[in-house]
Amino acid sequence: MNTSESLADLVAAEDVLLFANAAITATGQREFRSGAASQQLSLDFLHTYVRVNYRRVYAASLALDINDHNAARIVLGLLETVGEADAEERRAEGRLIAARLARLPPQRVYRLFGEVRRAGINNRRTWAIVRDWLAARPDLGHDAVKYRSGVRTAARHIHLRPAEGAGAVAEVGAFLFRPGKLPRYEHPLLDAWRRAHYEQGAVAELPFSVAEGFAARHGMRRETFLKRAAPRMTRLERLRTLEQRAGGAQRPDVDLTVMPLTRLALYVLALPFEQRTTRRAELTGALRTAARRAAGGHAASWGRVHAVLDDSFSSSGSGQKRRRPLAVALACHFLLEALAAPGAYRALWTSGRNDALLVRPWGPTPLGTRVLDALEPGPGGAVPDRLMIVSDGWDNAPAGLAGEVLRVWRARLDPGRRTAVVHVNPVYDADGFDVRRLAAAVPTAGIRDAEDLPALVEIARFAEGRTGAAELYAYLDRRVAVFLGEGEGHRQDEEAEVA
């Protein structure tokens, strides 16, 4: 650590890391040990505190791997308090906001624009941001059908009059503000929506979420509707619907290998044990393929890796985040296997299970015992190069043993830090305004998607206390530069899970 840094710099760095952990993990929803109200109250305080005291860092957080919920909250906070920023900050914030909005799922952005309107944020800067985002949409007619109220709200807020334009833009305006006035539309989806009111055949031409309402209105049989709608369904829509057919006995007609790793883990955990067993080769192959894709250039580069993975009862999550902590642990298991050198990975589940595909939330959390097992030297006295702990941090069998084991290990048995220990936590602790930590000497980072693990291990080193505030701010500057440099290649993923 740089001794020339002031105490204020170190406190600021700790605040930045605390907010980053919260923005990655917290969504304001109920967790296993805290309700939605306490989660929201804790998150409200953190957003206000960091925005007021570290506005530049608050905006720069948009370039980190934070979840969509907090990204939208940061955008709203920056737009709502534009008077607190100087001209240079406003320019930097405008670029970050535009780049982040381009990466958010469209339904999330339209919801954000609704919040902007309700908050009365009505200035030229906001108008320009909304207008530019709408102009960049690949098919506004599709959005007008699928997100009709959101498009209409956004257009009204910036006083956009698409009905006064020409061609497709005028049609969208007529569709939004003067429905039923035109006898037909040139845009195929707009006209399909018009015909679907009286023609069953047009229902299957609409986006699935819109078609469901028309199917119910026409009294269409569910099986018939799903068969007709299948070609226009997204991968996740197929998983959510076709897996329900015949009580889940029928496999979905979808390529699991192209699914994101954490989303695939959630899907696997939702399957009964019988299906997981009979489809073992398919599911394991898909998870390993997704893990290799997520590892990218880091594959097989981490040396000997041991992992302690939490599958205790608390990993069941909550009604709003069902099995989310366990899904993150399962996804991290396969990702760490891909990151480790061939044959140099060892997984230890807190339940003692050896079959990752059949894990379930069960029992207490004996993290201390599992950490002892993970640090046990192997043949020839070899210790792991990395010890990864994926847990909510509630070590209770016995309480506090994991922290004591890690303290003694670092202070007496491994002062040279031959083994890098990192704890990633998928659960936000509302009472502590952070993710729960195991030991002061062990860096801890919040995690939402296992795919972000390599980047989170990098940011976790700042929590270890061996690097200073200057290095942390330099890291943030690099992330912002990369984020803005990739602004044209933005994500338009309508299958993205809403945080």
pLDDT tens digits for range 181-207: 788 899 999 999 999 999 988 998 999
Residue 488 has pLDDT above 50, yes or no: no
* Residues in Cβ contact with 323 at an 8 Å cutoff, skipping those fewer than 6 apart: 266, 269, 270, 315, 316, 317, 361
Q: Do the domain assignments include residue 322?
A: yes
Cβ atoms of 307 and 345 closer than 8 Å: yes
CA 170 to chain CA centroid, Å, is 36
Residue 246 has pLDDT above 50, yes or no: no
Q: Do the domain assignments include residue 185?
A: no
Final residue of a structural domain among 255, 270, 295: 255
Same domain? 232 vs 279: no
Q: Do the domain assignments include residue 155?
A: no
Same domain? 204 vs 268: no
* Residues in Cβ contact with 213 at an 8 Å cutoff, skipping those fewer than 6 apart: none
Interval 444-469 mean pLDDT: 83
Same domain? 304 vs 415: yes
Instruction: Specify whether the backbone of 247 is left (phi greater than 0), alpha (psi in -120 to 50) or beta.
Output: left
Residue 1 has pLDDT above 60, yes or no: no
Element (H, E) at 238: helix 235-242
Cβ atoms of 326 and 392 closer than 8 Å: no
**What residues pair up with 386 in beta bridges, in sequence order?**
305, 420
280 band by pLDDT with thresholds 50, 70 and 90 = very high
CA distance 306 to 332: 12
Choose the weakest-confidence range: 2-6, 148-152, 298-302, 318-322.
2-6
What is the DSSP track for 53-88?
Answer: H-HHHHHHGGGSS--HHHHHHHHHHHHHTGGGS-HH
Residue 3 has pLDDT above 60, yes or no: no
Residue 2 has pLDDT above 90, yes or no: no
Same domain? 214 vs 237: yes
Q: Do the domain assignments include residue 402?
A: yes
Number of separate helices (H) and strands (E) present in the chain? 22, 7
Q: What is the pLDDT of residue 424?
A: 95
* Residues in Cβ contact with 189 at an 8 Å cutoff, skipping those fewer than 6 apart: 139, 141, 142, 145, 205, 206, 207
Same domain? 243 vs 205: yes
Domain enclosing residue 205, as ranges = 196-255
Same domain? 213 vs 247: yes
Q: Which residue has the higher pLDDT, 217 or 182?
A: 217
Interval 80-88 mean pLDDT: 92
CA distance 459 to 452: 11
Q: What is the pLDDT of residue 494?
A: 41
Residue 493 has pLDDT above 60, yes or no: no
Choose the weakest-confidence range: 272-281, 308-317, 391-400, 456-465.
456-465
* Residues in Cβ contact with 472 at an 8 Å cutoff, skipping those fewer than 6 apart: 13, 16, 17, 462
Residue 300 has pLDDT above 60, yes or no: yes
Alpha helices in 26-147 (DSSP H): 36-53, 55-60, 68-80, 87-103, 106-118, 124-136, 140-146
Same domain? 266 vs 330: yes
Q: Do the domain assignments include residue 298?
A: yes
Q: What is the pLDDT of residue 281?
A: 95
Q: What is the pLDDT of residue 162?
A: 56
Residue among 172, 125, 178, 115 nearest 146 (CA) = 172
Cβ atoms of 275 and 250 closer than 8 Å: no
Residue 323 has pLDDT above 80, yes or no: yes
User: Token pair 């500057």 is at which residue?
Assistant: 477
Q: Do the domain assignments include residue 490?
A: no
Mean pLDDT is highest, among 113-117, 171-175, 207-211, 316-320, for 113-117
Interval 312-340 mean pLDDT: 95
Q: Do the domain assignments include residue 56?
A: no
Interval 352-364 mean pLDDT: 94
Same domain? 301 vs 368: yes
What is the DSSP track for 175-219?
Answer: HHHSTT-SS--SSHHHHHHHHTTT-GGGGGGS-HHHHHHHHHHHT
- Write the pLDDT tens digit of every residue in 408-453: 988 888 888 889 999 999 999 999 899 999 988 889 999 999 999 9
Interval 79-97 mean pLDDT: 93
- Write the pLDDT tens digit of every residue in 92-106: 999 999 999 999 999
222 band by pLDDT with thresholds 50, 70 and 90 = confident
CA angle 236, 240, 246 (to 5 degrees): 140
Q: Do the domain assignments include residue 491?
A: no
Residue 17 has pLDDT above 70, yes or no: yes
Choose the weakest-confidence range: 81-90, 231-240, 485-494.
485-494
User: Token pair 């429905």 is at which residue?
Assistant: 179
> What is the pLDDT of the chain when averaged over all its residues?
87
Q: What is the pLDDT of residue 311?
A: 96
Q: Which residue has the higher pLDDT, 240 or 460?
A: 460
380 band by pLDDT with thresholds 50, 70 and 90 = low
Q: Which residue has the higher pLDDT, 349 or 223?
A: 349
CA distance 252 to 236: 10
- Write the pLDDT tens digit of every residue in 18-40: 999 999 999 999 999 889 999 99
Same domain? 431 vs 450: yes
How many folded domains does the chain comprise? 2
Same domain? 265 vs 251: no
Same domain? 429 vs 309: yes
Residue 379 has pLDDT above 70, yes or no: no
Residue 250 has pLDDT above 60, yes or no: no
- CATH number for position 325: 3.40.50
Cβ atoms of 33 and 74 closer than 8 Å: no
Same domain? 250 vs 330: no
